[in-house]
Amino acid sequence: MSPTPSRGNKTPYQLWSNNPPRLSRLRIFGCRAVIFNLKSRCSWKLAPPGQEGVLLGFENENTSYQILRLSDLKVIVTRNATFNEKVFPYVLGGKNTNLWAIETMSTGRSLDEIDVLPVEMNGVLSEQTEASSEGPNLAENIGAQQETTNEQTINDENSTQEGMDDQQQVDSSTGITRIRVIGPRHPTIITSNVDPLHILPYKRRAVAYLSIANNAPATYQSALKSENKEAWVLAIEKELTTMNNLNLKRDHQNTVIEHKARLCAQGFTQTPGIDFDKTYAPTGRLNSLRALIAHACANNLDFHQIDVKSAFLNAPLKETVYLSIPQGLDLNRQQYYLRLKNSIYGLKQAPLAWYTRLKTWLLDTGFVVCKLDPCVFYRKTPDQICIYVHVDDMAIFGQSLQSFKEQINKEFQIKDLGPADLLLGVKVNQSQNFITLNQQHFIKSLLHSYGMQECKIVSTPLVPNLHLGPATEDERKVFEAIEVNYRSAIGSINYLSTATRPDLSFAVSCLSQYLEKPGIQHWKAFLHVLKYLRGTQDVGLCYMRNKKSGLVAFSDADWGNCQETQRSTSGFLAQMHGCLIFWKTRKQPSVSISTAEAEYKSLCDLTSELLWFCQWCQEAEIYQFDNVIIVWEDNQSCISTANGNCNLNNKRMKHVDIQLHFVKEAVQSNFIKLQYAPTLDMLADFLTKSVTKTNLQRALTSLGVCGLGVRGGVKNQAMMSLG
């Protein structure tokens, strides 16, 4: 395989066949391998597609690989395998996932200090020259001829003459053992483009090869089948190390109000099925929170907030979990471990354990959990109270909340925050006449993060009538040179759009379609959104008190506005008591062949959301829908189709999926009633396209999205009169 100078730097194979050897199947020794499971040999269709292993060598004139299969420590000869030549399971200090780590020998010396006798291994192509422990010298010599000798000197102070074979000689004057190495005389020449970081010192390769003889089980099932089953079961009862998590808690003005330190378990070391089972814990929907705030405004209820101190520490654990002694405790860390009775921050099952604990107590005290949103609890007697739970933060609504606070404080140690002020990153301003929700503090922080504090102000989130498309190769290269995280940037404004800023929904929907391959045009569009946010920092939702009205919804669609896929965009929203409750912008999953079909699909999405919301309101007993829900639509053909006045055999509507026709059923059952709204009066228009400043301000003012008159921002006359 290796070329030699005596043959004109040609390999024996090349001299014999006049063709250079094919090196495409060569792989780096010791790299991670996955053996493909042939479908004909799989007894279960859901069996894993492959088995992990480590590359040992080659067979059958280099057409097959020798791979150590880790499940049973058998050497498998196969051609069906894939390799990751950047992962070496047996490298000291490397990442060992399902593989063993090579630990220091019992002599106490590291692997680099151990002298190893090179041996001849059948099936290995050729042995390379023993690498020097310095490392950089090896990289310098790659691609050059390296001469080898038949004798290599190994210094071993513990060596003796007893037990040595005829090939070993000891120099009595120097104490140096000379070992004759079985190997090729010709020099080794590396001609392929090999990364020097992938070439391991020979000592480590030899120790990795010999360590296979330990026969340690690689999987849990293998351990249970081994002779030392009891010993392995005890070893599996592993402990979790701990770490301190230090954090600063700030208010909406970014002022530090508390220094927090938590003892956290390193949950990433937990094993599924042993240390934990289920981990899912529900979190509240923002639609539910906004509906409860609107209900509190309409009925003049108190809106307070409480925080449970060290909430996770109150939840008992079902699993057996051990923790190493935290630093600071006067206990022997090598001799003692702690068994956790309650959950602790960092455990994967901690959120679920806390939710279960809180839910059990609330049910015992007379509360009922909503089936459609398990983070909402309500109670009629003795005092009517609704609770919105998000992990350890609770928003409570009612007329007499002090008795409940005293009751829960007896069970859990709470912090009474009084009237809600900062909830889930949303600033809450409560007055006698209204409640406003905004995220001005978050916007300021966002502008500071991207250096846009003094940027030019614009009046719309996107340039009107802007149509973004995929980035070209040149645009991607220009964007990559900026070295910014596009995905994180879009995620930050996405939180704004879902919490308090419906005016950002269409912009976020457009920009999030290019998370995989963004270009400079997409980044400029994001900066345009930041310029708009600087002029509208204090814009948010305004909920008027003592104002009761029914549920009203708007549905709209922009037909084929995606130039790449020709798919349409749906947009809808709903108000209750004059307060904006939910809104959504969505790119439709299929192409529509007419505007009526696009509008019909948007109406279908809105009806689904209305059905959930009405059932939730009736279950939580915050609103009874005695009258039909008015839905405003600006397409006459869509209205006729839903009302049953249009022939469904029409060539433009006959192909519509039958599931969309449940809108027709909702109309016939008097759940919704469709009414026509001219395009200028369609309040959901800004959710489907980039509109002008005038149209945007008109829609936001009608929906109760208001501000305090920041320069360049949206001004709400009702808000100004209240100020």
288/355 same-domain check = yes
Query: How many domains, in total, are found in the chain?
Result: 5
Residue 491 has pLDDT above 60, yes or no: yes
Domain with 474 in it: 437-535
Among the ranges given (234-243, 365-374, 572-581), the one the predictor scored with the smallest mean pLDDT: 234-243
Scored b (16 or more CB within 10 A) or e, 663-702 reads bbebbeeebbebeebeeeebbbbbbbbbbeeebbbbbbbe
Among the ranges given (12-26, 55-69, 390-404, 487-501), the one the predictor scored with the smallest mean pLDDT: 12-26
- Within-domain flag for 656: yes
Across the range 554-567, mean pLDDT stands at 88
Across the range 15-31, mean pLDDT stands at 80
Alpha-carbon distance of 76 to 55, in angstroms, equals 10
Q: CA-based diameter of the chain, in Å?
A: 110
257/401 same-domain check = yes
Q: Is the pTM of this model over 0.75?
A: no
Cis peptide before 49 (omega within 30 of 0): no
- Within-domain flag for 239: no
Among the ranges given (47-56, 324-333, 413-422, 669-678), the one the predictor scored with the smallest mean pLDDT: 324-333
Across the range 638-662, mean pLDDT stands at 70
Residue 115 has pLDDT above 70, yes or no: no
Alpha-carbon distance of 525 to 72, in angstroms, equals 55
First to last CA, the chain: 86
Radius of gyration of the chain (CA): 35
Neighbouring residues of 361: CB distance < 8 A, sequence distance ≥ 6 = 408, 411, 412
- Within-domain flag for 206: yes
Distance (Å) of CA 350 to CA 4, 145, 269, 317: 64, 59, 14, 8
Across the range 641-647, mean pLDDT stands at 75
Chosen domain end from 502, 535, 568: 535
Across the range 503-512, mean pLDDT stands at 95
Candidates 490, 557, 567; CA nearest to 529 is: 490
Convert the pLDDT of each residue in 561-608 to its tens digit: 887 888 999 999 999 998 999 999 999 988 888 888 899 899 999 999
Q: How far is Cα of residue 402 from the mean position of the Cα atoms in its chain?
A: 39
Q: Tell which wins on pLDDT, 660 or 101.
A: 660
Residue 99 has pLDDT above 90, yes or no: no
Phi, psi (rounded to 5 degrees) for 679: -60, -40
Distance (Å) of CA 574 to CA 11, 239, 571, 605, 679: 77, 51, 11, 12, 17
Residue with tokens 């010192």: 201
Across the range 168-180, mean pLDDT stands at 41
CA torsion through residues 503, 505, 509, 512, sign: positive
Q: Tell which wins on pLDDT, 542 or 116.
A: 542
Catalogue the long-range contacts made by 427-434 (C-beta closer than 8 Å, 24 or more residues apart).
427/252, 427/540, 428/303, 430/303, 431/722, 432/545, 433/544, 433/545, 433/722, 434/297, 434/542, 434/543, 434/544, 434/545, 434/722
680/664 same-domain check = yes
303/391 same-domain check = yes
Where do the DSSP E strands lie in 453-514? none
- What is the pLDDT, as a whole number, of residue 323? 78
- Under the banding of pLDDT at 50, 70 and 90, the label for residue 333 is low
- Under the banding of pLDDT at 50, 70 and 90, the label for residue 175 is very low
355/463 same-domain check = no
Chosen domain end from 507, 535, 563: 535
Can you give the CATH number for the domain in which 661 is found?
Answer: 3.30.420.10
- Within-domain flag for 232: no
Across the range 158-182, mean pLDDT stands at 41
Q: Tell which wins on pLDDT, 383 or 405.
A: 405
Phi, psi (rounded to 5 degrees) for 171: -85, 110
- Within-domain flag for 230: no
Across the range 298-313, mean pLDDT stands at 90
334/301 same-domain check = yes
- What is the pLDDT, as a whole number, of residue 274? 66
Residue 194 has pLDDT above 70, yes or no: no
- Under the banding of pLDDT at 50, 70 and 90, the label for residue 71 is confident
- What is the pLDDT, as a whole number, of residue 136? 37
Among the ranges given (264-278, 329-343, 354-368), the one the predictor scored with the smallest mean pLDDT: 264-278
Scored b (16 or more CB within 10 A) or e, 576-601 reads bbbbbbbbbbbebeeebebbbbbbbb
- Within-domain flag for 432: no
* String of DSSP letters for 65-128: EEEEETTTTEEEEES-EEEETT--TTSTTS--SSS---PPPTTS--GGG--------TT-S-PP
336/412 same-domain check = yes
- What is the pLDDT, as a whole number, of residue 557? 93
375/317 same-domain check = yes
- Under the banding of pLDDT at 50, 70 and 90, the label for residue 529 is very high
Residue 250 has pLDDT above 80, yes or no: no
294/162 same-domain check = no
- Contact predicate 287/582, CB 8 Å: yes
Across the range 526-534, mean pLDDT stands at 95
447/312 same-domain check = no
- % residues pLDDT > 90 (the chain): 35
Mean pLDDT over the full length of the chain: 75
- Within-domain flag for 665: yes
Across the range 696-700, mean pLDDT stands at 92
Phi, psi (rounded to 5 degrees) for 636: -65, -40
- Within-domain flag for 691: yes
Chosen domain end from 535, 568, 595: 535
144/160 same-domain check = no
Structure tokens at 78: 């196969």
Share of the chain residues as helix, strand and coil, in percent rounded to the nearest 5: 30, 25, 45
577/660 same-domain check = yes
